[in-house]
Amino acid sequence: MIKQNTQKEFAFYIDESGSPKPVPNDSALFFAMGGVLIERSNESIIKKYVADFKSRWNIAQEIPLHANEIRSRKKGFAWLGRLSEKEQANFMEDLTDTIVKCPIIIHACVVSRTGYLNRYLQLYGANTWEMMKSAFSIVVERAAKYAELKNGTLMVYFESAGKKEDNLLKQYFNELRSQGHPFDNARANKYSPLSNEDLSVLLRGIDSKQKGNCIMQLADLCLYPVVRGKQQPDNQAFVALKDANLLVDCNLEPNQLNNLGIKYYCFDNT
């Protein structure tokens, strides 16, 4: 049973990538949920790093650092595409340096769409879960284990997407606290899942944040490199996060990776 005299408070800011719908004709190869784990005491440090970066590049503080817009040089970052190649490289280098200076730990669950469909669609048909339920349950449970490892508790924050979507994540969270993980026990037991009693102690609560929240912006920026990291482990952004020891896997012992590390889910069924 988890000790209740915990000392540290962690917050887990999570974002998503791709569509969670289990449909075969979706062009997105993966769905992922994940983001950044922080200690509460480090919030002000992170906010200052992000604010200073925006000031250096004359970006209004209320404009989110949206990863897709930055990569595509569109919408709020169309101006980036009008800079010289050298200036664009300087921007990306400064952005990377800003991220790796932040006291964060990156965690995620990345789901292979093909593998998920191969494993579940024929078995469950129309009753197949959206990938969001699986990914959310896995990554939040593992983040709770990490908080436990560091003698702490966990608060979960997600980017608000509307009342229906927000309530769905809150439902998944509350089910974790009250019932434990939702998976088949025979499959799940090899990962030493936490009981609902332990999760009810470790998971303090869940709430939404707007995309303008600076730590939520870091979640968005850090998730995509992890999504790519399975098939492209040499991509520059993923390597930078790994070299800075920001991935949760870099902060675990080898025997802890299977139960607590970043989860690439259903890749064995591709």
Question: Is residue 207 in a domain?
Answer: yes
pLDDT tens track for 81-101: 999 999 999 999 999 999 999
Question: Is residue 247 in a domain?
Answer: yes
Return phi, psi of residue 195, to 5°: -75, 165
The pLDDT of residue 24 is 86
What's the rounded mean pLDDT across residues 63-88?
96
Q: How far is 238 from 261, CA to CA, in rounded Å?
A: 15
Question: Is residue 3 in a domain?
Answer: no
Q: Is the pLDDT of residue 16 over 70?
A: yes
Question: Is residue 2 in a domain?
Answer: no
The per-residue DSSP string of the chain comes to ---S---EEEEEEEEEES-----TT-S-SEEEEEEEEEEGGGHHHHHHHHHHHHHHTT--TTS---HHHHHHT-GGGGGGGGS-HHHHHHHHHHHHHHHHHS--EEEEEEEEHHHHHHHHHHHHGGGPPPHHHHHHHHHHHHHHHHHHHTTEEEEEEEE---HHHHHHHHHHHHHHHHH---S-HHHHGGG-PPPHHHHHHHEEEEEEE-TT-HHHHHHHHHHHHHHHHTT-TT-HHHHHHHHTT-BGGGGS-GGGHHHHS-EEETGGG-
Q: Is the pLDDT of residue 6 over 80?
A: no
Q: For residue 77, what are the domain limits?
A: 8-269
Q: Domain count of the chain?
A: 1
What's the rounded mean pLDDT across residues 135-150?
97
Question: Is residue 197 in a domain?
Answer: yes
pTM equals 0.94
Q: Is the pLDDT of residue 4 over 60?
A: no
Q: Residue-wise over 40-68: b if at least 16 C-beta within 10 A, else e?
A: eeeeeebeebbeebbeeeebeeeebbbbe
The pLDDT of residue 127 is 87
Q: Is the pLDDT of residue 270 over 70?
A: no
More confident residue, 230 or 107: 107
Lowest mean pLDDT, pick from 23-27, 130-134, 179-183, 191-195: 23-27
Mean pLDDT of the chain: 94
Q: How far is 227 from 244, CA to CA, in rounded Å?
A: 18
Q: How far is 161 from 52, CA to CA, in rounded Å?
A: 28
The pLDDT of residue 2 is 52
Quick one: tokens of 106? 């990156």
pLDDT band at residue 177 using 50, 70 and 90 as cut-offs: very high
Question: Is residue 81 in a domain?
Answer: yes
Q: How far is 242 from 250, CA to CA, in rounded Å?
A: 7
pLDDT band at residue 59 using 50, 70 and 90 as cut-offs: very high
CATH of the domain at 120: 3.30.420
What is the percent of the chain where pLDDT is above 90?
A: 88
Question: Is residue 95 in a domain?
Answer: yes
Q: How far is 104 from 101, CA to CA, in rounded Å?
A: 9
Q: How far is 18 from 255, CA to CA, in rounded Å?
A: 30
The pLDDT of residue 40 is 94
Question: Is residue 1 in a domain?
Answer: no
Return phi, psi of residue 17, to 5°: -140, 125
